Amino acid sequence: MSDEQVTPPPDTTQEIPAEGPEATTGVTPEVEAAPRTARASAGRGLWAVALLAFAVVVLQVTVLPFLPMADGIPDLVVVMVVAVGLLRGPLVGAVTGFSSGLAVELLAPIDTLGVLALLYLIVGAVAGRYCGRTESRLWESLAMVLAAALFVQLGYGVVQLLLGKSAGSPAGFVGSLLIPTLVLTALLTPPVLLAARKLLGEPRAVEPFALAP
């Protein structure tokens, strides 16, 4: 038998150059599409926030005034603003609070234009600071909503006093307005929080330029 080594035939296959976007960028279409998908998801989230705010403001000025307890009515707007802040962060919470408060003042017979808008802006910004943390339990969110409703009612009452408009005795204000408002707001808080969670999805803070390409 011969001791000659058998030389393998040369490899004649040629590497076919890549075609398409990955040929020039080195990034596959799936990877390139990921940021666009995230931006689209964030955009849909903002549309959901606008839809939720619109529905709540309409209910606040058209239906809830006919469901009073003494002189108090449910503050559905404060529940929605807290929910948006918890789910979308301080920026979206503040903008939603300001726009919703201003809409209520324009649609309802309120002669202190801008006060509710400022109060709801503060509520949305503060609630938004807790976005992205461990998701709150229902009772924790309820406590935050009641604290925000108390802040709005007291803040609006102080402005009324500064403008020289009598709100009656402190006992009458607490017994006929403040406590009924807090009780009615607490009763409507769980369904509104659940609806907001279902509509907006997972907590995700939206910051300035987050939607920039």
What gap in Å lies between CA 28 and CA 21, rounded to an integer?
A: 7
pLDDT value, residue 146: 95
What domain range includes position 149?
Answer: 34-200
Q: pLDDT digits over 75-129, tens only?
A: 999 999 999 999 999 999 999 999 999 999 999 877 788 999 999 999 999 999 9
Is residue 156 a part of any domain in this protein? yes
**Which of 55, 54, 139 has its CA nearest to residue 99?**
54
16 in a structural domain? no
Instruction: Specify the higher pLDDT residue, 11 or 28.
Output: 11
> Does residue 168 form part of some domain?
yes
If pLDDT is split at 50, 70 and 90, which confidence band does 28 have? very low
Structural domains in the chain (count) = 1
In CATH, what number is assigned to the domain containing residue 134? 1.10.1760
Residue 207 belongs to some domain of the structure: no
15 domain residue, yes or no? no
Decide if 117 is inside a domain. Answer: yes
Average pLDDT, the chain: 80
Is residue 17 situated within a structural domain?
no
In a domain, 212, yes or no: no
Confidence of residue 33 (pLDDT cuts 50, 70, 90): very low
